Structure 1
Amino acid sequence: MPGTVNRVLLALVGLVLLAVGGAVLAVGLGVRAPSWWLHDGPHDRLLTAAERTRWRADAWWWPTVIAVLALLVLLALWWLTAVLRRRRLGELLVDTGDGAGALLRGRALEGVLAGEAGRLDGVAHAQVALTGSREAPAARVRLLLEPHVDPATALDHLTARALVHARESAALAKLPAEVRMRGTGHKAQRVS
């Protein structure tokens, strides 16, 4: 969902900027502007001196301008951090029992878990991504099931075998998982 929202917002902002920029460029190159447009020709100013200095003497003007600009900067920073935030877990903290602990690469556990899930009966392909924190990871598992497999049986095998092995090998108290399954099958065809 955040990826979709991000794409829609970027598309809207891009379209607005492209439309306004293209219109200003066209008017600047001499294309006749519609009557409702902000300026009439290439030598017309967007704001007159009176319009630019109209509210400078009012006490609310500068605090409002600064607040709006600060809000825009904060929103842009929030958006940037949301886009750059890592979705996958880089490493896990494994309790070794001696009080020191060890770090396990998230990709390594993802690969082992995906390999074991892919070897289950009836699973054509498996993908795993670890999310959460180093101390409390969670797994997102996607399974591509063959047509003859019962999804409940595949889920039971996944939770009883692959997820238990991953949880025990990483010495985790729990490893919650979100499992999404999709079947490989032939698309329906119209028969006459």
Structure 2
Amino acid sequence: MLATVNRILLAVAGVVLLAAGAVLLTGVRPLHGRTAPLLTAADRRRYLHADGWWWWVLAAALAVCLLLALWWLLAQLRRSRLRAVPVDTGDGAFAVLRGRALADAVAAEAGALDGVSGCRVVLRGRRGSPRLRVKVELEPHAVPADALAGLAGPVLGHARDSAGLADLPAEARFRVGSHRARRVS
């Protein structure tokens, strides 16, 4: 979602700047001449000394822009990884399983599967409903269906059991590593 918001903000900023440039180039200069200022002395007096709604609207618009900019900045700085998962110990208490430890364990177990040359795992979601994003690099001779079955079966089953979760959704992305032809002499 953050990528979509970034694209929308960039598009809106581009359209506003393009419109402002077009107005300044085509609208203001030809009407008043090349040496005329953008605001005449009468306009400056009217806007600076105006009573009523003008300054309240301007202050409100600037405050809204400031709040939106702060929200966007905080959204950029927010972490996308889940730091910890609560694990029910069975005696009414909870233990805390670090998210990186769970992700490293899944990556190590998935990396040991036949045909897998590398694996990266990120734990995302919320504390009550974590989910995994798994990127698997396959060797050239690997069968993707076998690697997926090994990942979906024992690897995710062990992770689910160790974290004490009833459900652990995962998104797996597979990529085949490049290989070079062997030289024959």
TM over 0.5: yes
Mapped partners of 1:49, 1:66: distance in 2: 23
Q: Which moved more, 1:77-86 or 1:174-183?
A: 77-86
- The alpha-carbon deviation at position 161 of structure 1 amounts to 1.2
Partner of 1:179: 172
Work out whether 1:67 is the aligned partner of 2:78. Answer: no
Give me the CA root mean square deviation: 3.2
* Number of residue-to-residue matches in the alignment: 167
Q: Which amino acid aligns with 1:172?
A: L
Partner of 2:43: 51
- Could you say what secondary structure the match of 1:104 adopts? strand
Q: For residue 2 of structure 1, report the CA deviation from its aligned partner.
A: 3.4
**Cα distance per residue 1:41-67 (max 9 Å; x no partner):** 9xx987565433423425331221022
Q: Secondary structure at the match of 1:139?
A: strand
Distance 1:132 1:60 in 2: 45
Following the alignment from structure 2 to structure 1, what is the Cα–Cα distance between the partners of residues 75 and 90?
A: 36
Q: In structure 1, how many angstroms separate the alpha carbons of the residues matched to 2:84 and 2:38?
A: 54
Q: 1:77 aligns to what?
A: 70
Greater shift after overlay, 56-65 or 115-124? 56-65
Structure 1 counterpart of 2:93: 100
Task: Return the offset for 1:3.
Answer: 4.6
Instruction: Give deviations 1:134-177, integer Å, cap 9, x for gaps.
Output: 11110000000111112121111101011110000110111000
TM-score with structure 1 setting the length: 0.73
Partner in structure 1 of residue 108 of structure 2: 115
- Change in Cα spacing, 1:102 to 1:50, as seen in structure 2 (3 Å) is farther
The whole-number CA distance in structure 1 between the counterparts of 2:127 and 2:159 is: 15
2:150 aligned partner: 157
Greater fraction of residues in helix: 2
Q: Which structure 2 segments of 5+ residues have no match?
A: 18-28, 181-185
Structure with the bigger RCO (C-alpha within 8 Å, sep 6+) is 2
Q: 1:53 to 1:140 in 2, by over 3 A?
A: farther
- Per the TM alignment, residue 186 of structure 1 is displaced from its structure 2 partner at its CA by 3.9
State the alpha-carbon separation in 2 of the partners of residues 186 and 52 from structure 1: 70
Give the letter for the 1:2 counterpart.
L
Structure 2 residue corresponding to 1:134, chosen from 127, 133, 140: 127
Structure 1 outlier segments of 4+, above 6 Å: 10-14
Partner SS, residue 106 of structure 2:
helix
Q: CA deviation at 1:74?
A: 1.7
CA distance, structure 2, for counterparts of residue 149 and residue 50 of structure 1? 78
Identical-residue share of aligned pairs (%) = 56
